[in-house]
Amino acid sequence: MQFHRHNEKILIIDFGSQVTKLIARRVRDLGVYSEIITPRQASKMNNFNSIKGIILSGGPSTVTKKKFETVPKFFFHKKIPILGICYGLQLIAKIFKGKIKSSKKRREFGRAFILKKNNSILTKKFFKPKSSVWMSHEDAVVKLPKNFKSIASTKDSKLTIIENAKDKIYGVQFHPEVTHTDNGLQIFKNFLFLICKVKKGWNIKSQRERLIQEIKNEVKNEKVICALSGGVDSSVAALLINKAIKKKLTCIMVDTGLMRKNEFKVIYKIFKDKYKLNVKLINASRQFFQKLKNISNPEKKRKIIGNLFIKIFEKEAKKIKNVKFLAQGTLYPDIIESRSSTGSKTSKIKSHHNVGGLPKKMRLKLIEPLKEFFKDEVRILGRSLGLDNRIALRHPFPGPGLGIRIIGNITKEKVRILQESDGIFINELIKNKLYYKIWQAYAALLPVKTVGVMGDSRTYEYTCLLRAVTSEDGMTADYFNFNGDFLDKISYKIINNVKGVNRVVYDITSKPPSTIELE
């Protein structure tokens, strides 16, 4: 049987905006496959067969300078509809001989009200009385390009939406992909279904059989190993590969001793008993504690944990003879972030973020079956493979685990205190139906001891910090606004049940300026 790859797709050219990924998300959420490429990759393209529409993203470049980021002119002569967003609009204006001015006075950041001037298919059902849109630009188009019409304006930019309906080229100065733009999704709906005339129908589940077949074709009769952390990505990758090649896959779980309370045992049981995977659990906590003794520098801790993890994984992997492939749960955002806007592999992604950490010396071929997908899509794929909700909907957890949630040096005793406190916090979140409203929540242990009084005695013990944030992708985050009674209850439970803590504080900083983790 032939499994088709994506036979209709929307191509997104990434000029470096922080929110390009959201464009791809919106398009996929509407049931159309989208792919992000760099301008450099675009300049080498010669096959446009499956491309039904092109979106030019925003970005930091400026067309008012001599050198600016662009795509080859032939993109505009393929009779494929084009939508330019922010910088994308300015680029269209430049190419078609409009005028763009850079002006500190004219710059718009944040919300702006938009006024309709003319009808356009792009804006069908988009305008509402007092529609506001999200702006982030300094340059503005001040003279319409040839054969273009103005569709809408704001107070500070007269040409906020422009179109050349005959050639199907459109531009918007604002960001319809961010939720701060009212009704922004309608712009994408109109572009996709009325202008590009694509059919709705793509979804991650429709890709499942193709992915399984591709793994079978690639692996054939060889062996695959995989580092299973119990996070969504490695779990779904393992389940998918297991569907394709069964016992030829061996999963290795390295218990660093820095996991949440009972977490690894539960996950191990699920994979072994429920999914019947070939999985080996390695208890390496002693080695980790030994290496981490008296280390309190966050970067040092991360390096030690990462390196030791790889060493142990390699040692275990060697025990399985003739392995050819290493499976990793790399996601689409990791791939996008690993290339710069010019297409060269300059900025290495948060390599510390992934447990697999790529044992290069092992000379294994990589299989990364999730590399086309976003996290939410992987969750859906996971559920279609029967992935337990306890894993599919789990909050993100960093590779170095509790090691970066114990500020200062790490001891077994501190890990115990933290596991107990964190367990209470997370259980209460689940019991109170708050867990799924939160992107990530955890307890951390601060190295400060303070004075307290319990019963009639003076105490001098550690401080437990609670953190809970909402976020869409972990790049920015807001702290979660618990009601006082809930926090009160958690504090009471922790102090009364965990020996070693006499003070509980709640972190009320957002990201930026803070990060989600403390180290």
Under the rule (CB under 6 A), what is the footprint of ligand XMP?
352-354, 396, 398-400, 440, 474, 511, 515-517
Closest distance of CB 430 from ligand XMP, Å: 19
In 3D space, the residue among 105, 91, 202 whose CA is nearest the CA of residue 157 turns out to be: 105
State how far the Cα of 241 lies from the Cα of 226, in Å rounded to an integer: 10
**Token match 């004219």: residue?**
106
State how far the Cα of 178 lies from the Cα of 21, in Å rounded to an integer: 10
Residue type, 200: K
Please, which residue, 108 or 334, has the CB nearer to ligand XMP? 334
Which structure tokens are listed for 517? 């983790």
DSSP H or E stretch at residue 421:
helix 412-431
C-alpha to C-alpha distances, 420 to 71, 151, 424, nearest whole angstrom = 55, 59, 6
**Token match 């996601």: residue?**
331
In 3D space, the residue among 161, 112, 170 whose CA is nearest the CA of residue 136 turns out to be: 112
Angle at 389 between CA 350 and CA 417, to 5 degrees: 65
Residue 258: strand, helix, or coil: coil
Catalytic residue among 8, 108, 163, 177: 177
Please, which residue, 71 or 391, has the CB nearer to ligand XMP? 391
Please, which residue, 239 or 477, has the CB nearer to ligand XMP? 477
Closest distance of CB 515 from ligand XMP, Å: 3
Catalytic residue among 8, 35, 69, 175: 175
Cβ atoms within 10 Å of 24's Cβ, excluding its own: 23
Closest distance of CB 469 from ligand XMP, Å: 9
251 is catalytic: no
Closest distance of CB 403 from ligand XMP, Å: 9
Please, which residue, 62 or 471, has the CB nearer to ligand XMP? 471
263 is catalytic: no
State how far the Cα of 355 lies from the Cα of 246, in Å rounded to an integer: 23
Entry field: residues in the chain:
519
Please, which residue, 507 or 517, has the CB nearer to ligand XMP? 517
State how far the Cα of 380 lies from the Cα of 375, in Å rounded to an integer: 9
Closest distance of CB 405 from ligand XMP, Å: 9
**Token match 């079956």: residue?**
369
175 is catalytic: yes
Please, which residue, 359 or 452, has the CB nearer to ligand XMP? 359
Catalytic residue among 8, 35, 69, 86: 86
Please, which residue, 55 or 308, has the CB nearer to ligand XMP? 308
Helix spans in 47-116 (H): 87-95
Closest distance of CB 142 from ligand XMP, Å: 39
End-to-end CA distance of the chain: 50
Closest distance of CB 162 from ligand XMP, Å: 37
DSSP H or E stretch at residue 178:
none
Residue 116: strand, helix, or coil: strand
Q: Which residues are catalytic?
A: 86, 175, 177
